Amino acid sequence: MKETILVVEDEVKIARLVRDYLENAGYRVLTAHRGDEGLALARSERPDLIILDLMLPGLDGLDLCRTVRRDSQVPVIMLTARADEADRLIGLELGADDYIVKPFSPREVVARVRAVLRRARGGEPEPEALRYEDLELDVAGHTAAVAGRPVELTPTEFALLAAMMRAPGRVFSRLQLLDQVQGEAYEGYERTIDAHIKNLRQKIEADPRSPRYIVTVYGVGYKLSA
């Protein structure tokens, strides 16, 4: 299930930009342009993370953060235009998990969201082994096998296959796969994914030209068949 991010930001353009990038990264995004609306959404929708602008109409970011913190441990990332360190410290004291100073790049926001969510899950244990039909990945040991036969995968191939094996049937765009590999997406390199997929198929498919596991979804990307 997609994680839900609530973005509370009164500058509509910024809110939209952040929303687009987060949606591209696979999150469900709710936006509010006023602090009081943000608080209502935080209570009704129980998001997995809140991105909170400091200066907001209705209820300012610090008050919103303080109010949310009374009954929730949801991770909060503060956005602030003020480079004033005192503001950041107050935010962190109120229980914000991180802050980002404007102007920021939307990619930085995505990277921070990912890092904070990972931290919030508290190093949620990765399953030792991922299995799909005859495919097997030992995540801890970094080994792969097809029908019990060991296969040598590069770190990139391993990361791609692991991402798909964690969500069989889910269609990944090239950009999303690239993101799995590099942590940050560079649109210009989307086509390099095709080369990695081709190599992976050579290694894990009985007939790479008619793949059984990694299926091409035309116009979109790839998925592990389910």
Q: Is the Cβ of residue 53 or residue 98 nearer to Ca ion in the bound state?
A: 53
Which among 206, 208, 193, 109 has a CA at the least distance from the CA of 157?
193
Pairing of strands 149-151, 172-173: unpaired
Please state whether the peptide bond connecting residue 125 to the residue before it is cis, i.e. omega within 30 degrees of 0: no
What is the number of the residue whose Cβ is closest to Ca ion?
Answer: 55
Q: Is the Cβ of residue 36 or residue 134 nearer to Ca ion in the bound state?
A: 36
Residue 175 sits in the site that holds Ca ion (CB under 5 A) = no
Q: Is the Cβ of residue 68 or residue 204 nearer to Ca ion in the bound state?
A: 68
Q: Give the interface segment with Ca ion, choosing from 46-54, 84-92, 169-177, 188-196 (CB under 5 A).
A: 46-54
Residue 98 sits in the site that holds Ca ion (CB under 5 A) = no
Q: How many residues bind Ca ion (CB under 5 A)?
A: 3
Q: What is the spatial order of strands in the sheet that 221-224 belongs to?
A: 172-173, 221-224, 214-217
Q: Give the interface segment with Ca ion, choosing from 7-15, 32-40, 147-155, 212-220 (CB under 5 A).
A: 7-15
Q: Is the Cβ of residue 55 or residue 139 nearer to Ca ion in the bound state?
A: 55
Q: Is the Cβ of residue 53 or residue 179 nearer to Ca ion in the bound state?
A: 53
- C-beta of residue 54 within 8 angstroms of C-beta of residue 82: yes
DSSP bridge partners of 146: 135, 149
- Shortest Å, Cβ 53 to Ca ion: 4
Q: Give the interface segment with Ca ion, choosing from 33-41, 49-57, 173-181, 210-218 (CB under 5 A).
A: 49-57
- Token couple for 205: 């498919």
- Shortest Å, Cβ 32 to Ca ion: 12
Q: Is the Cβ of residue 31 or residue 156 nearer to Ca ion in the bound state?
A: 31
- Shortest Å, Cβ 81 to Ca ion: 7
The amino acid sitting at 154 is T
Q: Is the Cβ of residue 32 or residue 117 nearer to Ca ion in the bound state?
A: 32
Residue 10 sits in the site that holds Ca ion (CB under 5 A) = yes
Pairing of strands 76-80, 49-53: parallel
Backbone Cα Rg of the chain? 20
Judged by CB under 5 A, the chain residues 53 through 72 that form the site for Ca ion are 53, 55
- Shortest Å, Cβ 60 to Ca ion: 9
Q: At what angle do helices 61-71 and 85-93 cross, to 10 degrees?
A: 20
- Give the span between the Cα atoms of 106 and 129, in whole angstroms: 34
Dihedral, CA of residue 144, residue 149, residue 150 and residue 154, to nearest 10? -60
Q: Contact positions toward Ca ion, by CB under 5 A? A: 10, 53, 55
